[in-house]
Amino acid sequence: MLHRKKSIIVVASEILLILFLLSVNMFAQETKNVIFSLNDESIGNIKNAIQSNNPGLRKSGIYFAGKYAVEEVSETLLDQLKKEEDPSLRVLIVRVLYINGNYEYMDEIYKVALNDKNIAVRQMASAIYDVMRTERSVQVADVNN
């Protein structure tokens, strides 16, 4: 009975998390429509920040990669996701990969959702994967109509 209550709570929290992500996405300010470009040096600086030994600098680099939708750093983010120790930064990396619209990394997000040692990271990755899968199916449906 206790196990069933826990599973109901987990399912309810995942549903609430998905709803939260969808609502945040609907009301989020679109930064991709802003016309600006980062030069190669700026992109290199963000990559270096993401790979830094300083956790604060890493967090800032990951944040700015998402804020300015820097798709050029996606491979760097994926590499960092595989070796990142801090669970909050792993969550942030997964969110940035989602924000940047990198659907080619859905498999990696799914692996995190299945295998991460931290339950909060697994739940967030699972929710983001579900949202990405839903968005992708809606896009396919729009193309077919």
pTM equals 0.71
Interval 31-51: pLDDT, tens: 555 546 788 899 999 999 999
- 78 is in which domain, residue-wise? 2-27+39-144
Share of the chain above pLDDT 90, in %: 52
The amino acid at residue 89 is L
CATH number at residue 85: 1.25.10.10
Share of the chain above pLDDT 70, in %: 77
Q: Which pLDDT belongs to residue 41?
A: 92
* Overall domain count for the chain: 1
3-7, 59-63, 124-128, 133-137: range with lowest mean pLDDT: 3-7
Task: Output the CA torsion sign for 57, 62, 66, 68.
Answer: positive
- pLDDT category, 105, cuts 50, 70, 90? confident
Q: Which pLDDT belongs to residue 100?
A: 85
**Is residue 60 in a domain?**
yes
| Complete DSSP assignment for 43-80 | HHHHHHHHT-S-HHHHHHHHHHHHHTT-GGGHHHHHHH
36: exposed, middle or buried (Cβ count in 10 Å: 0-12, 13-18, 19+): exposed
**Is residue 33 in a domain?**
no
**Is residue 54 in a domain?**
yes
